[in-house]
């Protein structure tokens, strides 16, 4: 696994050390990634000697911050293979991106009797906004089944699609199982009945090369904090012709053209969807994060993490005491259950060994119901992970087994 050796960059990430100076085996990157020093420095500069607000300032520093904020938008557009930076709306995170689409495009384009297709493995943030919309409009939600090994079943999707299907909203990569969707095929199917497709790219953006033209989807959402950037910023990509027709999301400063009590007019996208003082410093730090990931090569990140996931599955299988969930070939996310041990107990014992995994429903309760478990243990890899993290996890699992006898 030579890729593993070259890619793991632990030294760039000050968060990978405990306050006592010990190595911290962080296996919860799917929840939120650690930050490289370059991102911390960019954020610190933006909050310090460069700080000023954007858009309204007539003084030089504000103009420079505005340039920095807009440069971040251009960088993200380039990173995603967007046609133009006007297709990039900065939001608080993927959750807000999906809520924005539901509250604007959804509220005007989806009505009583229309159908929205989701899948069994979706994160709550790609379920609940659609349920709220369905409650308000009388639309119906159809749930696409999974294949036996936990991938979205595109045959099942084809069967569900109907003339009244207005939207298909699916995870590009599952945050629980690591399953990778054939997104292009899903888009083709959705479009064949005239539906739009939204991809929840939270787990794909940090580890796959994104190309909005090749994917041919309609909406794409992701969160900066999972791509080694700061919290509080995420991205909604939509094609310009769709954005143009979307009504405002929130009202306030910066999203208007002219305000009068007789009637207010709105700014063109993307500003129309960015009411209020935006996430200035977060956007600038996100720019640094995108630079960092792009320099390493997203495709290589996928291979690196998928290789670690493969290795971990192999080692766990040897224990003969583990149930593995999800497909053999997956992104760097492995969900499992250790016989006779609650995932929370495992997580607590591993913590004593400086190993951080996630234990719980991972905001995917319908998937847990489908798997027939209340929770799973999940180890997820990042670009800084390597085999030493797997070894530490396995040592911790062995200790847990001894404790539980
Ligand atoms: N979708 C997926 C697949 C996720 O993994 C997550 C975060 N766990 C989200 C959506 C929500 O992201 P955020 O909380 O950053 O808005």
Task: Enumerate domains of the chain plus CATH numbers.
Answer: 3-27+297-404 (3.90.1150.10), 41-295 (3.40.640.10)
End-to-end CA distance of the chain: 34
Give yes or no for residue 5 having a pLDDT over 50.
Answer: no
Q: Report whether pLDDT(4) > 50.
A: no
pLDDT band at 7 (very low <50, low <70, confident <90, very high): confident
Nearest alpha carbon, ligand 1 atom 14: 95
> Taking 80 as the threshold, does the pLDDT of residue 199 lie above it?
yes
CA 248 to ligand 1 center in whole angstroms:
23
Q: Residue 6: what pLDDT?
A: 58
What is the per-residue pLDDT for 55?
85
Region 231-251: what's the mean pLDDT?
Answer: 97
Q: Hey, how many other C-beta atoms are within 10 angstroms of the C-beta on 102?
A: 24
Record the pTM. 0.97
Nearest one of 140, 89, 24, 14 to 279, comparing CA atoms: 89
- Residue 2 predicted with pLDDT over 90: no
Secondary structure letter of residue 266 according to DSSP: E
**Top mutation candidate among 208, 223, 358 for ligand 1, by most atoms within 8 Å of CB:** 223
Per-residue pLDDT tens digits for 244-264: 999 999 999 999 999 999 999
Measured CA to CA, the distance from residue 78 to residue 62 in angstroms comes to: 24
| Measured distance CA(198)–CA(319) in Å, rounded | 39
Quick check: 108 pLDDT over 50? Answer: yes
What ligand 1 atom has the least distance to the C-alpha of 173? 3
The order of strands in the sheet holding 88-91 is: 88-91, 234-238, 219-223, 196-200, 165-171, 115-119, 140-144
The pLDDT of residue 405 is 79
b/e map of 210-230 (b: 16 or more CB within 10 Å)? bebeebbbbbbbbbbbbbbbb
Neighbours of 112 (CB within 10 A): 9
pLDDT at position 57? 75
pLDDT for 36 equals: 98
Burial 275-301 (b: 16+ CB within 10 A, else e): beebbbbbbbbbbbbbebbeeeebeeb
Pairing type for strands 333-338 and 376-380 reads antiparallel
**One-letter-per-residue 3-state SS of 68-98:** HHHHHHHHHHHHHCCCCHHHEEEECCHHHHH
1 CA from centroid of ligand 1 (Å):
29
Does residue 360 have a pLDDT over 50? yes
Position in ligand 1 atom list of the atom nearest CA 223: 15
Judge whether residue 110 has pLDDT over 90: yes
Q: Mean per-residue pLDDT for 230-248? A: 97
Rounded mean pLDDT of 12-22? 95
**Chain-centroid distance, C-alpha 358:** 16
Which residues have a Cβ under 8 Å from the Cβ of 329 and sit 6 or more positions away? 180, 306, 310
> Among positive and negative, which fits the CA dihedral 396, 399, 404, 405?
positive
Tell whether the torsion through CA atoms of 15, 206, 304 and 390 is positive or negative. positive
Q: Is it true that the peptide bond before 270 is cis, omega within 30 degrees of 0?
A: yes
- pLDDT band of 234, cuts 50, 70, 90: very high
- Which residues does a 6 A CB cutoff place in the pocket of ligand 1? 31, 93-95, 123, 125-126, 171, 175, 200, 202-203, 223, 363
Q: How far is the CA of 201 from the centre of ligand 1 (A)?
A: 9
């Amino acid at each position: 696994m030579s890729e593993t050796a070259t890619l793991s960059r632990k030294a760039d990430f000050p968060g990978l050390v405990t306050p006592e100076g010990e190595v911290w085996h962080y296996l919860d990157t799917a929840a939120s990634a650690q930050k490289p020093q370059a991102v911390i420095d960019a954020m610190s500069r933006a909050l310090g000697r460069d700080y000023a607000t954007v858009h309204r300032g007539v003084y030089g520093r504000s103009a420079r911050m505005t340039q920095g904020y807009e440069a971040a938008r251009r960088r993200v557009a380039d990173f995603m293979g967007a046609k133009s930076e006007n297709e990039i709306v900065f939001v608080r995170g993927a959750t807000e991106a999906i809520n924005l689409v539901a509250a604007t495009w959804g509220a005007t384009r989806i009505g009583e009797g229309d159908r929205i297709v989701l899948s069994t493995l979706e994160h709550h943030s790609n379920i609940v906004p659609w349920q709220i919309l369905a409650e308000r409009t009388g639309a119906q939600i159809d749930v696409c089944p999974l294949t036996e090994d936990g991938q979205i079943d595109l045959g099942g999707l084809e069967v569900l699609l109907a003339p009244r299907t207005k939207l298909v909203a699916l995870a590009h990569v599952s945050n629980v199982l690591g399953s990778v969707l054939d997104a292009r095929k899903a888009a083709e199917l959705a479009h064949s009945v005239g539906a739009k497709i939204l991809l929840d790219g939270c787990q794909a953006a940090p580890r796959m090369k994104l190309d909005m033209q090749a994917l041919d989807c309609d909406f794409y959402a992701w969160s900066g904090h999972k791509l080694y950037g700061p919290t509080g910023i995420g991205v909604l990509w939509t094609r310009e012709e769709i954005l143009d027709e979307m009504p405002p999301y929130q009202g306030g400063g910066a999203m208007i053209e002219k305000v009068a009590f007789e009637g207010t007019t709105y700014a063109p996208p993307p500003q129309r969807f960015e009411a209020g003082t935006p996430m200035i410093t977060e956007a600038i730090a996100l720019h640094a994060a995108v630079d960092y990931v792009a320099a390493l090569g997203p495709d290589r990140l996928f291979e690196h993490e998928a290789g670690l996931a493969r290795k971990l599955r192999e080692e766990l299988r040897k224990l003969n005491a583990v149930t593995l969930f999800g497909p053999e070939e997956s992104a760097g996310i492995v969900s499992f259950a250790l016989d006779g041990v609650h995932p929370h107990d495992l997580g607590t014992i591993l913590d004593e060994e400086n190993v951080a995994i996630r234990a719980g429903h991972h905001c995917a309760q319908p998937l847990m119901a489908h798997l027939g478990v209340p929770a799973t243990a999940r180890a997820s890899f990042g670009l800084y992970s390597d085999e030493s993290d797997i070894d530490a996890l396995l040592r911790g699992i062995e200790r847990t087994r001894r404790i539980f006898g």
